[in-house]
Structures are given as C-alpha cells and as structure tokens.
C-alpha cells in the first residue's frame, strides 16, 4: 500500500486524483496545491512546490512512496531531480529530460540529429538574422519563443508583417527569458492530434490519443488558449499511424535522450500534425495534456497508479493497456474574459445536477469561499462524459453543462465537431 503526493491544481490533476484513488495499491493520497475537486479525493497540504527542500521534508515525514507531478513548470525547475537525489520515487522527468518541453530549440536539434520528421527550422538569438531568414522563406511561417511561455509563445504568422512583429515581441521581452532565443519554422498543414506515451527511461507504453480545441471560439476562431475541450480517441490516429509514430518519432527520441545521458521517464505527449497519412512532430510536452488527461482517465481501464509506479522505477511489464471502447469528451467551462484576464469570484452551482446526467465535472480553477464554490481562474470546470460515439459523449457533456448555474462562465458549443462530422459520414 502506498502514500502518494500529487502536485498540481488543475482539471488534469483532478482527473488524475479521481483515477488514482480507484487503485487497490493506494493507502492515502495527498495533494498540493490542489483545488476543491481534488480535495474530494485527497488531503490537501500546505506546501510551496518551488521549495524543493520543503517538498522533500514533507515526503519524509508523511512516508510518501511516490510523487506524481502534473504540470511542466516544477519539472523544468528540477523537482524530480531533487526528489530522486533524496531517494524519493517520482513520476515525471528530470530537468535535463524536461528540456523536450522547456526548450523548443533543444527538441528541434534532437529531431535533426535523429532524423525525426518535423517542420524545417532555424534557431536565432537576434532579430536581424531571424528577420532575414523569414524574408527568404516567406509567409505563412511560425515563430516560437524557445522557452516555457505558458502556451503563449507561438505565433502562426500568415503574413510577413505578423512574423516580424512576433520576432520583435520575443526579443523585446514579451515572453521574458523564454523569448531570448527564437525558433523559426516551416508552416505545416494537416490535422493535429495528441499522442501520449508513458515512458520508463527506455520503453514507451502507448497511452492513448486525443484531439484538443485550442482556439477560444466556435469554429476554431479567436485567440489560442490552454485548450477549450478534447475528445479521445482521435480517429485520425489509426493503429498503423500509431505504429509509425512510435517507430519514427517516439522511439528515436527515447534513444536520443538515453544516449545524451538524460533518459526520459514520465509522460511524453507528442503534438502531431498528420498530413496525407504522414505524422510530423509539432512539439513535445513532458506531462499530460490539460484537458486531454481528463478524457484519457475516463477511458483507461487499467490501474493508473500501478502504471505510474512502473514508469517511475521498476519498468513496464507489458507494453499494452486496456481502454474502454467508448469515446470520451470534455467541455471546458471558462470564466468571462479568458484567455485574457478572467473574471474571478463568481458563484457556481448545480454540479450535483450536472453529474446526475452521468457526466463528471472535474474542477480546474475553482475555490471555496465561505462554503460557496467560486471561479478562481481562466479555465474553471471540465465537464466530461463517455458515450458509444463521440456524438453521444458530446450530447451527455452538453446536457450536463446546461444544468450548471454559472452565468459568468462560457464554453465552446462545438467540441468534437471533427469527429462528429466523420461519424456522420460513416
């Protein structure tokens, strides 16, 4: 029996908590910073995550057997390294391995060295050279701040003017240190999909596919967000395409990381562009997607905790997992103003009614004020449902959304549209 500490406070971590407590291996779950949804499953502890010594101290006092890190920032900051050095098991890569997300230039160079299919690119540390390259390439073209920029450092520039502006933004400090270096890359066309693998440093265990909806508005319009909804599986990721992605993208990446002395363990989340049946890597993340994790957890039929323990130490015994044949779909409810400045403190009710429809309302940016549930962030709730088709899951999810009483919240009404369209054709 194990004590587990879960790090994070989003809908992703609520879904992980919900699944971890279903494990027969669990003694007790702790979480920091947590949220009111996570608090239904875990004891919330008052811990400053960036204070690695404090986290280590807590783990020793509480005899924590495994730390599960949800978000990328603590990974890039070396929390796993600190825990490992203290002899505490952790699910999540070291800082060196987290460079796959922490530095876009690092990942592009790895792709170049191992012939991993990705957009053609160049790295720059000054504006004049970046601009000369952009002029030579022409638009559309993609400009990326090298480092972590909370999902905001990427500009898909349809014109040269937009591209030049994006370069200036980066070098003038719009993304802080993250923009001190810039990657300029070829514009890819096709259909995007997310592919997840659990990794134990050597092997990759395929862990599901999903499609996210990055734009804030219906019909994929408006500014980019952290993700407004997702569904799983992604029909574009056929078994043959998964096999190719493993061979051409994931396996050479794990080999490269191991050869570099930075073996990767944790979740490797490949953002892919599929064009004419060919997978290309757009980017890596070193953690579960949010909200993609929520739909994966709804479909996973294996013991999540056993898999996380295997990835964190003992290695996988088998390279397959069991999933429900159902589709799962999640609708993100966000606070007015998101992805700009969200309105906070507005009251939310009706979650019991919503869950009576068969859906699950995962909490993201919520908090409790004097017993009332209120919005406390941009993305606030993730209303998640299963169904025999994406359309059925979509209907249940929106039925649940519609009984939640939160006038200051909004959501997209078309989550899953691509898959529903495909289902209509079959």
Interface residues toward ligand GLY, by CB under 6 A: 212, 226-227, 285, 289-290, 292
Rounded least distance, CB 160 to ligand GLY, Å: 28
Judge whether 143 and 131 are in contact, CB under 8 Å: no
Give Cα separations from 419 to 299, 315, 328 (angstroms).
17, 35, 11
Q: Which CB sits closer to ligand GLY, 23 or 99? A: 99
How many C-beta atoms surround the C-beta of residue 30 within 10 A?
A: 20
Minimum CB separation of residue 135 from ligand GLY in Å reads 31
C-beta neighbour count of 298 within 10 angstroms:
25
The Cα 62–Cα 51 span in angstroms is 17
Nearest position to ligand GLY, beta carbon: 227
Taking the C-alpha atoms of residue 127 and residue 302, their distance in angstroms, rounded to an integer, is: 49
Residue 65 interacts with, from ligand GLY, ligand AMP, none (CB under 5-8 Å by kind): none
- Cα separation, 319 vs 193, in Å, equals 21
List the helix and strand counts (H, then E) for the chain. 15, 22
Considering beta carbons, is residue 284 or 362 the nearer one to ligand AMP?
A: 284
User: Given phi > 0 = left and psi -120 to 50 = alpha, else beta, which region is 25?
Assistant: alpha
Map the footprint of ligand AMP across residues 182-241, applying CB under 6 A.
185-188, 192, 214
Q: Which stretch binds ligand AMP (CB under 6 A): 6-14, 51-59, 179-187, 384-392?
A: 179-187
28 binds ligand AMP per the rule CB under 6 A: no
Looking at the DSSP bridge assignments, the partners of residue 186 are 141
CA 89 to chain centre: 22
User: Shortest gap between Cβ of 187 and ligand AMP (angstroms)?
Assistant: 5
Task: List the single partner that 300 binds among ligand AMP, ligand GLY, none, CB under 5 to 8 Å by kind.
Answer: none
Among 283, 342, 366, 385, binds ligand AMP (CB under 6 A): 283
* Distance, CA of 268 to CA of 288 (rounded, Å): 8
For ligand AMP, how many residues bind (rule: CB under 6 A)? 14
227 makes contact, choosing from ligand GLY, ligand AMP, none, with CB < 5 to 8 Å by partner type, with: ligand GLY
- Sites of contact with ligand AMP (CB under 6 A): 119, 142, 151, 154, 156, 185-188, 192, 214, 271, 282-283
């Amino acid at each position: 029996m194990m004590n587990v500490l879960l790090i994070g406070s989003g809908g992703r971590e609520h879904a992980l908590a919900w699944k971890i407590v279903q494990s027969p291996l669990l003694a007790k779950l702790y979480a920091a910073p947590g949220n009111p949804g996570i608090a239904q499953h875990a004891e919330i502890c008052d811990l400053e995550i960036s204070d690695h010594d404090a986290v280590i101290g807590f783990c020793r006092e509480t005899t924590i057997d495994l730390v599960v890190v949800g978000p990328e920032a603590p990974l890039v900051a070396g929390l796993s390294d600190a825990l490992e050095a203290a002899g505490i098991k952790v699910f999540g890569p070291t800082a060196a391995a987290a460079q796959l997300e922490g530095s876009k230039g690092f990942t592009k160079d790895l792709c170049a060295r191992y012939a991993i299919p990705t957009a053609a690119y160049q790295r720059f540390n000054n504006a004049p050279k970046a601009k000369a390259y952009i002029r030579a390439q022409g638009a559309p073209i993609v400009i990326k701040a090298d480092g972590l920029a909370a999902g905001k450092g990427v500009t898909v520039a349809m014109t040269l003017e937009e591209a030049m502006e994006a370069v200036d933004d980066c070098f003038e400090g719009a993304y802080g240190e993250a923009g001190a270096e810039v990657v300029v890359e070829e514009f890819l066309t096709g259909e995007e999909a997310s592919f997840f693998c659990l990794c134990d440093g050597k092997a990759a265990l395929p862990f599901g596919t999903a499609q996210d909806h990055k734009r804030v508005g219906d019909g994929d319009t408006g500014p980019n967000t952290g993700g407004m909804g997702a569904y799983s599986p992604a029909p574009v990721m056929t078994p043959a395409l998964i096999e190719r992605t493993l061979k051409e993208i994931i396996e050479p990446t794990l080999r490269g990381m191991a050869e570099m002395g930075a073996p990767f363990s944790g979740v490797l989340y490949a953002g892919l562009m599929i064009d004419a049946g060919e997978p290309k890597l757009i980017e890596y993340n070193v953690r579960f997607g949010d909200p993609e994790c929520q739909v994966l957890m709804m479909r996973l039929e294996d013991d999540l905790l056993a898999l996380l323990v295997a990835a964190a130490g003992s290695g996988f015994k088998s390279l397959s997992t069991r999933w429900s044949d159902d589709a799962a779909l999640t609708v993100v409810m966000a606070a007015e103003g998101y992805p700009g400045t969200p309105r906070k403190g507005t009251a939310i009710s009706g979650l019991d009614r919503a869950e009576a429809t068969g859906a699950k309302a995962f909490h993201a940016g919520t908090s409790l004020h004097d017993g009332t549930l209120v919005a406390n962030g941009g993305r606030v709730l993730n209303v998640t449902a299963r169904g025999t088709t994406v359309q059925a899951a979509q209907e249940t999810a929106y039925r649940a959304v519609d009984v939640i009483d939160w006038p200051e919240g909004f959501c997209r009404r078309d989550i899953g549209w691509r898959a529903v369209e495909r289902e209509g054709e079959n």
